[in-house]
Amino acid sequence: MRAADPDDTDRMTENTMIHTGFGAESTIWDVVEGVDLSGRRTIVTGASSGIGIETARALAAAGAEVMLAVRDTAAGERAAVDIRDSTGNQAVRVGRLDLADLGSVRAFVVAWEGPLHLLINNAGVMALATPELTDRGWELQFATNHVGHFALTTGLHDALAAGADGDAEARIVSLSSRGHLRSPIVFDDVHFDQRPYDPWLAYGQSKTANVLLAVEAHRRWSPEGITANAVHPGAIYETNLSRHMSPDVLERVWSQVRERQQRSGGFGFKTREQGAATSVLVATSHQLDGIGGRYFEDCNQAQVLPPDFTPETASGVAPYALDPENAARLWELSERMVANTG
Ligand SMILES: NC(=O)c1ccc[n+]([C@@H]2O[C@H](COP(=O)([O-])OP(=O)(O)OC[C@H]3O[C@@H](n4cnc5c(N)ncnc54)[C@H](OP(=O)(O)O)[C@@H]3O)[C@@H](O)[C@H]2O)c1
């Protein structure tokens, strides 16, 4: 047997699907077992509730220094106390970050000092019933879920590059959703100026953007030791994400999840600790060393769907969300949006 050729290894990892041995039922405690993050510096956005708080808890339990990047700092402080108490790790801090306000993102970036090893872009808003715009006239889900995270990620590039120290890469994890199947990026009308606003198309577009950010960040930055992947956490109802939905709409969404589960025989609702498992695994597992530009769900790499998939029933990642041309185009659009905010 000849020695492994590094080029072969590259080709193999490019094409091989990642199967980790974990699954839909795995929790943060399963995937973080045996992981040592001592000395690793991490940021989790939206870590004052839901999946974010459990993601932060797992990283802290593994010994990382954790920054909870939140817009409600009082809620962030309560989460930090809870995480310190439950893990014994005192290195849990709170920083103010409002992703819908690029001034706030800039202030957060400027205040960050030193290297960064893990950035978990977790915060998000979903399906606002009526269109809401930022003061720049940007649709709020696209502005919060994507543009704010784009500004944060690019602003922290140098810290991530400094965190990639040869021993281990720096990683970005981008929280998407199976909701991305509802919409590609509609480049000609991102903010619904020329078409009727639809809460799910707007959420879907923003969640496609989360995948494309990982694709392009990985393409640009992997030579510097920074990898980026996207995840769908699953369906978790014990979070605040559905706060903008009426009880009727909420019931309809949950019954769709139940129907999909019955049809596929798959897994239904997850607990928060199960929902955060894919983020934590993708952030920390050596099985993903050097891997990027991919989409994971239920702790494994997801299948790429055929172009004619049915959004209501499909499960996997849409081809448009992994498309390198879309990723490059979105990056350029986002750079222009962020640059024009003075
Ligand atoms: N739960 C699910 O079934 C599910 C499914 C697929 C994908 N996801 C994704 O998972 C991620 C976490 O969601 P979750 O279910 O844990 O919901 P959640 O409990 O509502 O958490 C979302 C977090 O985002 C924060 N956030 C919202 N707008 C923000 C802004 N402008 N600036 C900074 N932070 C902001 C929220 O902070 P405030 O409390 O201050 O509003 C909250 O802490 C989201 O990206 C979501 O799209 C969730």
Above 80 in pLDDT, residue 20? yes
Q: Is residue 133 part of a domain?
A: yes
Interval 223-244 mean pLDDT: 92
Report whether 285 contacts 229 (CB < 8 A).
Answer: no
CATH of the domain at 206: 3.40.50.720
Write out 71-130 in H/E/C secondary structure. CCHHHHHHHHHHHHHHHCCCCEEEEECCCCCHHHHHHHHHHCCCCCCEEEECCCCCCCCC
Q: Is residue 265 part of a domain?
A: no
Token pair listed for 35? 């992981």
Q: What is the pLDDT of residue 13?
A: 54
Distance CA 138, CA 336 (A): 13
Q: Could you tell me the residue range of the domain that residue 287 belongs to? A: 20-234+272-339
Q: Choose one of 44, 53, 71, 231 to mutate for the ligand 1 pocket test, by most ligand atoms within 8 angstroms of C-beta.
A: 71
Interval 227-240 mean pLDDT: 94
Q: What is the pLDDT of residue 195?
A: 97
* Catalytic residue check, 203: yes
Q: Is residue 14 part of a domain?
A: no
Report whether 208 contacts 320 (CB < 8 A).
Answer: yes
Residue 125, C-beta contacts closer than 8 angstroms, at least 6 positions apart: 140, 141, 144, 145, 241, 244
Distance CA 110, CA 158 (A): 12
Above 60 in pLDDT, residue 231? yes
Q: Flag the least confident range among 40-54, 197-211, 212-226, 251-265.
A: 251-265
Identity of residue 109? V
For 77, phi then psi, to 5°, come to -65, -40
With bands split at pLDDT 50, 70 and 90, how would you rate the model's confidence at 9? very low
Distance CA 327, CA 104 (A): 25
Torsion angle of the four alpha carbons 310, 127, 156, 105, in this order, in degrees rounded to the nearest 10? 160
Q: Is residue 251 part of a domain?
A: no
Distance CA 287, CA 285 (A): 5
Q: What is the pLDDT of residue 254?
A: 81
Q: What is the pLDDT of residues 173-202, one digit of tens each?
A: 999 999 999 999 999 999 999 999 999 999
Q: Is residue 241 part of a domain?
A: no
Q: Is residue 262 part of a domain?
A: no
Q: What is the pLDDT of residue 6?
A: 38
Q: What is the pLDDT of residue 151?
A: 98
User: How many distinct structural domains can be found in the chain?
Assistant: 1
244-280 burial: b if 16+ Cβ within 10 Å, else e: bbeeeeeeebeeeeeebeeeeeeeeebbbbbbbbbbb
Q: What is the pLDDT of residue 246?
A: 83
Catalytic residue among 203, 237, 295, 320: 203
Q: Is residue 333 part of a domain?
A: yes
Dist. CA 238 → ligand 1 center (Å): 12
Dist. CA 271 → ligand 1 center (Å): 15
Distance CA 100, CA 144 (A): 5
Q: What is the pLDDT of residues 69-83, one digit of tens each?
A: 999 999 999 999 999
Average pLDDT score, the chain: 93
What is the reported pTM?
0.94
Q: What is the pLDDT of residues 87-134, one digit of tens each?
A: 999 999 999 999 999 999 999 999 999 999 999 999 999 989 999 999
Whether 126 lines ligand 1, by a CB cut-off of 6 Å, is yes
Interval 324-330 mean pLDDT: 98
Whether 230 lines ligand 1, by a CB cut-off of 6 Å, is no
Whether 132 lines ligand 1, by a CB cut-off of 6 Å, is no
- Number of the ligand 1 atom closest to the C-alpha atom of 178: 6
Whether 71 lines ligand 1, by a CB cut-off of 6 Å, is yes
Q: Is residue 254 part of a domain?
A: no
